[in-house]
Structure 1
Amino acid sequence: MIRQAKGKTPRRPPKKPSSNEKDPVGVYCRVRPLGVENGECCIEVISSTTIQLHAPEGFKTNRNGEYKETQYSFKKVFGVSVSQIELFEHVAKPLVDDVIHGKNGLLFTYGVTGSGKTFTMTGSPGQGGLLPRALDMLFNSVGPYQAKRYVFKTDDKNGMDVQSEVDALLERQRRENNLPVSKVTSSRQKLDPEIADMITPEEAYKADGVDEDSCYSVFVSYIEIYNNYIYDLLEEIQEDAIKPKPPQSKNLREDQSHNMYVAGCMEVEVKSAEEAFQVFWRGQKKRKVANTRLNRESSRSHSVFIIKLAQAPLDADGDNILQDKNQVTVSQLCLVDLAGSERTGRTGAEGTRIREAGNINQSLLNLRTCIEILRENQMCGTNKMVPYRDSKITHLFKNYFDGEGKVRMIVCVNPKADDYEETLLVMRFAEMTQEVEVARPVDRPIYGFTPGRRHRNQAFKEELSCKLEERGGPVDRDMSSVINQLAHSLPPLPSAEVMDPHDDLTLPRLIEALQNRHRIRQMMIEEYNKSANNLKSALQELDNNLISKDNYIHEQNAKLVEKDKIIQTNRADIERLEKKTKMQEHKIDILQKTTKIYEDDKRSMQQELETRDQRLQRELSEKRRMEQRMHGVVSDTQLKWEKECERRVNAMQLEMQNKLWVKDEKLKQLKAIVTESKTPGRPDPTPRQTQPKRPSKEERLAAKRSASPPPPTTTPVRPLHRRSRSAGGEKWVDHKPPSSLDLGTVLQPVIPNAIQVSAPNEKALSKCDRYVLTHQEVASDGEIQTKLIKGEVMKTRGGGQAVQFTDIETLKQELTTIPSRKRRSSEGAPANGDQSDGAWTDVETRCSVAVGMRAGSNMGPGLEHHGITKRRKP
């Protein structure tokens, strides 16, 4: 039966500590040995608390170009010769003591990549780090007082429940039955003692002042924060080779005491340091690592290993655990291995590595921002909000900076000169972190029972065993059952109460009963003696038989001694081979990780190569399309310019032919006038000096548009009959507005094979090659003139038609008058010898007078003019 004391106080501490005392964040510095021999070193250890940074050669830090040397102070500086055990004794041992006494603790390593953070936290065979030493010290202290498995049970809300030993036994049996046979047999085997290779028995520590009237249970969990997502490294995922499933990220939650925890994180109950370290190593194999230029196994995520200790007091008798949830105290120690800050230019990161490095640097930058704001609030009295929620690493541990436990930081630095700039930033951050103060946690006393209950119960059992041994009773664990059996075999005693002094029956009855019990006792002694004699005789016979076998036994013993020697030799070989096997397994794990990293890099590079190939194919196809498009544009432009050149050449030829024809006409008329003037009986005509008519504006515009480089010097030949190109199969769109008037001029345009429209439309343009627009307007002299605006129909890329105007032809009716020829007076007549020569010197002037017609405008191809110019007399 479990008893609970009345009036006991809850063991859960209040949220806000009543003490106003604060302690600064403990910052330690550890210097890694210089890896390269004869390399330049930029860090010098001045004392046990101070280091000095020397700027490397070629790095100027002030305006004068001089080297600057800076000193930084820490709580303690550990040089290259400091061992792992000394580091644990100064930094982690006080935190383990606090966890055993119900206080929380946070320890994290900080530094650039390749500075030795993982080695400080985990260590290597023969040089165990902080984590395995903390586990060893914890189990050395509370190991004898651990509760049975499954007595403490997590409630998935960052709390602990206590169940009875019967329920715990049933749960153990149920879980063992649910496990496969292979796992049950492997779990019952002895665990692989990897931690024994890291910690020697001489280096073991044990905490003082452990409460022996409480029962303890240890739970561990292991998570990583990768790309600002939380993943459980201990979660068992069924691997599917065909379609593997990625791990699911976890979320942060807040419990009833406003403490942050990872919801759904797997917490494993462990009963020894070896088992705990084996669980840690199982999760360590799943952690994200990568190979960079600065580190072969660079951590790509922040890892958090949480050691949770649950303790509950025993009842008043010191036998059972109190099943009261309010009496359970839960304390935890968080060991954080932060990923190193890095520059992608130095690490040569590409693709996924760049994204990982950016997330790592962003989370570390947010940690620095939180520390800066905390320092400013404490030193300047401000009340700025600390951005804990900007990253998961700060949001998870915000309770520690608010006073839920001690905070310790180990700054790991690499003394090589290449890391000087990054180391300088790390030192500045460490110097600022030391100025942040965290509230000191309050002690958690235990009330309600007198201490030493377990010792008193143990002492009572030992005293009872000694008394039974002195009396010759059984000393084994079934002592009570044997005593009860002997007591029930004797006859019961009658009632020995004497109520009357004259009672003569009670005493004789009691005497008789005692005599019977004495007689039975004598009989039992006789039977015991007989059995003892029989046993002695049997033993004597056995001794006699054994004496004859002594010689044989001695011979066998000699052989066994020889076998023992062989066995000892084999054991030594087995131990040596086991150590060698462990080393090989460790190397195999490293090679497997490296192979996985190379495979991931190969896969990413293949994906990148495929992406680039696709991009190249797209660029090539785009280039081909552009080439085809440009070829099309070039061919269209070439065809257009060929047509334009042909049009200009034809226009120039026509213009030259017209000019030649005009000159021929002028010469013919001149010849006719000369011939007529020399006819006898007729007087010589008096030439009329007139100026040639100036071309109109439309004629000048048409001449400018048809201007082109001078044609080759060939003698134009006036054709007897000019045939238009429309006869060759070209179709025209004759656009005549309904308002045009018929002037009745002699030169009339005739357009064969034309479609006459009053308004242009797409259907008519699609069937024709040329276009002419008839336009009428009043000229400056009051006459109506007709303009024929001509163009070419071209197909557009969109499937439509467009008209490009190329020529304008102007038709105008004019009346020309020829002056009457009179004889010259004899006063102004020259001499007979010079009369004909002097009268016909100005041929052009006389041609302009003689020719009373307009030669006409430039008529483009496709139009024919039938008729002649009439000469009218007044």
Structure 2
Amino acid sequence: MDPATEETSDMAKSESLGLFLRIRPLLQSGVRVDRNPRFRRKSAFEPWFQKMCLRVKTSRSVTLSPPLALERGRTKTEVYDGFSQVFSPDSSQEEVYEKMMRPLVEDFLKGKSGMLAAFGPSGSGKTHTIFGCNRQPGMMPLALQQIFKETSDSTRSLFISIFEIRCEGGKEERVFDLSPNGVDLTMHRSTLKGLHEVVISDWRHGEFVISQALLRRATSPTNANSQSSRSQCVINLRIVDDKSNGEVNDQANDGVLIIVDLAGAEREKRTGNQGVRLLESNFINKTSMVFCLCLRSLLEHQKNPMKPLEKHFQDSLLTKYLRDYMEGKKRMALILTVKAGGEDYHNTSCLLKQATPYMEIKFNNEPSKRRLSPSFVLKGYKEKLEVAEHEIQHLRESNLELEKELKDLKSQIEVQRLDDDQVAEETQRLKESNLELEKEVKDLKSLMDVQISGDDQWDDSVVEDLPSPNKNAISPLKEERDRLARRRKGKKWSSLEEDTLRAGVEQYGVGCWKLILTSNQDIFGERTQVDLKDKWRNLTRRNAHH
């Protein structure tokens, strides 16, 4: 593939992090009531418009101006641009949902996983944005309404799970299931064990489950907020096709939509926390810091791929659970909630300076891979195991057949080898016999030639001197006849020998004459392998005729 084409394809598959900004409105009375008397004394006589430090410039930018008390220094007005959308103080929940949440829900219904995290200082309106109230429902209730509206005619089920991460008594982080029957959870790598999922029948049922979970969430009043969240709340939504039964289907959706309500960062001087509340503040601030470090490391790695991606996610249970999002593998949107009052200038300034670079982060926007239920995975493994066992049994049977064929082939080879040996021995014996006969015939011819020549030159005087012939002398031809007559005469087969031959063939097989003869030498006596082979042939022919 051409490098330019490949780069264009990669860009098409990824998109920038959605960074939204929402400004909490000031009180209508014109003066924000602050629980900290120091700030209330300093700001009670300033008009509300003089106290506002953050103003909307365009739909994607804001202007941050220092309050009058800081204008004398070197602090200058700053402009922050490039937001996905800026929501002014008079923006409604529906407007925020349409611009920010609806695209995430639509992608979720198409099978793409996504996450929305609310991030900001304590009391800036994060929980209100996510959950809302009866008159102003937040992102979560509005998302449930949209999901059930678009899936009312389908055969898909919605599962919801809710849990929180908090630090009790300044000790280590703990995870608690906020569902009705929830218990303490344990995390292994990035997976929670024992998290309970609730099947939602309609959006009202979903709102009820969420409201019951929020009643169990850890909250406490502080000087900055009358009901401050003391934990990180995470909500998971998952849709499963009922017809699929957990099976893989190209048209089935199993994307996950995660909503995170982060506890707001707190300043000790501002909140006045002490004791247990102070330990909770330290935990909240640490989680927020680790969350930002993960995003900063991801941004630096994407700008310079040679720089390794730091594993800051290991320092917090929240970021460990959101590891895929912290590493840019899944789509994420971030909504910053701030307060526009002059007393909140430092918090707002720090948040904007810290978070605005994150808008350059890229995320993959591919449909998520389907996650199979454990029961279905186990069922699939059992089926594969049964198939494997069947194949193993078939292979064993095939091996037995092959071993039997190999054994028969070896027996045939052995018989053939024995027959070849017998044929070779018999051939050699016949050759030797022929040589002897040829020699004897040659000798006879020589004698006959001598006799003939003697008759032609017969001399009586010579005869008188010759000794008288031996009457007992034997002719060479007669000696040959006698030698041939002395060969082994045929011996009739007894019933015992025939039965022994049949038993030997049944035990060792046809052709194993040497084994049969050796095993029953006391019965066969002087008989040879050839005798056994010929007798068996005759028995076989006799049985065939009968």
Give the aligned residue type for 1:230: V
Give the aligned residue type for 2:297: I
What displacement does 1:235 show?
Answer: 4.7
1:287 to 214, 217, 222: 217
2:292 to 368, 380, 383: 368
What displacement does 1:218 show?
Answer: 0.5
- Find out whether 1:434 has 2:359 as its counterpart: yes
1:83 to 65, 88, 92: 92
- Find out whether 1:338 has 2:262 as its counterpart: yes
Listed one character per residue, the Cα deviations across residues 812-852 of structure 1 (whole Å, up to 9, x for unaligned) are xxxxxxxxxxxxxxxxxxxxxxxxxxxxxxxxxxxxxxxxx
2:16 to 16, 24, 32: 24
Identify the residue that residue 233 of structure 1 maps to in structure 2: 178
CA contact (8 A) 2:110 2:253 kept: no
1:423 to 348, 366, 388: 348
What displacement does 1:440 show?
Answer: 2.3
- Find out whether 1:48 has 2:59 as its counterpart: yes
1:221 to 137, 156, 161: 161
Q: What aligned pairs does 1:116-155 form with structure 2 within 5 A after superposition?
A: 116-145=125-154
Give the aligned residue type for 2:163: I
TM-score by length of 1: 0.37
Q: Which runs of 5+ in 1 are unaligned?
A: 1-17, 146-214, 238-246, 255-259, 313-320, 446-874
Q: What aligned pairs does 1:751-790 form with structure 2 within 5 A after superposition?
A: none
Give the 3 Å change call, closer, same or farther, for CA 404–371 of structure 1 in structure 2. Answer: closer
Identify the residue that residue 357 of structure 1 maps to in structure 2: 281
Give the aligned residue type for 1:70: E
Give the aligned residue type for 1:348: G
SS of the aligned residue for 1:124 comes to coil
What displacement does 1:225 show?
Answer: 1.0
Identify the residue that residue 78 of structure 2 maps to in structure 1: 70
Q: Which runs of 5+ in 2 are unaligned?
A: 1-8, 32-46, 168-172, 371-546
Give the 3 Å change call, closer, same or farther, for CA 117–97 of structure 1 in structure 2. Answer: same
Query: Within 2, Cα distance between the matches of 1:444 and 1:367?
Result: 25
Give the aligned residue type for 1:368: C
- Find out whether 1:253 has 2:261 as its counterpart: no
Give the 3 Å change call, closer, same or farther, for CA 310–292 of structure 1 in structure 2. Answer: same
What displacement does 1:441 show?
Answer: 1.6
Give the 3 Å change call, closer, same or farther, for CA 442–285 of structure 1 in structure 2. Answer: closer
CA contact (8 A) 1:31 1:412 kept: yes
Q: What aligned pairs does 1:633-644 form with structure 2 within 5 A after superposition?
A: none
Identify the residue that residue 458 of structure 1 maps to in structure 2: none
Query: Within 1, Cα distance between the matches of 2:262 and 2:142?
Result: 19
- Find out whether 1:383 has 2:300 as its counterpart: no
2:234 to 296, 299, 304: 304
What displacement does 1:420 show?
Answer: 1.1
Query: Within 2, Cα distance between the matches of 1:221 and 1:57?
Result: 47
CA contact (8 A) 1:88 1:130 kept: yes
Query: Within 1, Cα distance between the matches of 2:84 and 2:181?
Result: 41
Identify the residue that residue 110 of structure 2 maps to in structure 1: 101
Query: Within 1, Cα distance between the matches of 2:119 and 2:351?
Result: 8
What displacement does 1:324 show?
Answer: 5.7
Give the 3 Å change call, closer, same or farther, for CA 443–116 of structure 1 in structure 2. Answer: closer
Give the 3 Å change call, closer, same or farther, for CA 324–297 of structure 1 in structure 2. Answer: closer
CA contact (8 A) 2:117 2:334 kept: yes
SS of the aligned residue for 1:430 comes to helix
Query: Within 1, Cα distance between the matches of 2:244 and 2:272?
Result: 59
Q: Percent identity?
A: 28
CA contact (8 A) 2:17 2:360 kept: yes
CA contact (8 A) 1:114 1:340 kept: yes
Q: What aligned pairs does 1:179-190 form with structure 2 within 5 A after superposition?
A: none
Identify the residue that residue 721 of structure 1 maps to in structure 2: none
- Find out whether 1:326 has 2:251 as its counterpart: no
CA contact (8 A) 1:25 1:406 kept: yes
What displacement does 1:405 show?
Answer: 3.1
Query: Within 1, Cα distance between the matches of 2:230 and 2:369?
Result: 38
Give the aligned residue type for 2:213: G
Moved beyond 6 Å, runs of 4+: none
Q: Which has the larger radius of gyration?
A: 1
SS of the aligned residue for 1:86 comes to helix
Query: Within 1, Cα distance between the matches of 2:120 and 2:85?
Result: 16
CA contact (8 A) 1:403 1:440 kept: no
Higher relative contact order (CA 8 A, sep 6+): 2
Query: Within 1, Cα distance between the matches of 2:246 and 2:283?
Result: 44
Give the aligned residue type for 2:98: E
Query: Within 2, Cα distance between the matches of 1:27 and 1:121?
Result: 15
Identify the residue that residue 530 of structure 2 maps to in structure 1: none
Query: Within 1, Cα distance between the matches of 2:355 and 2:84?
Result: 11
Identify the residue that residue 419 of structure 2 maps to in structure 1: none
Identify the residue that residue 43 of structure 2 maps to in structure 1: none
What displacement does 1:107 show?
Answer: 0.3
CA contact (8 A) 2:254 2:368 kept: no
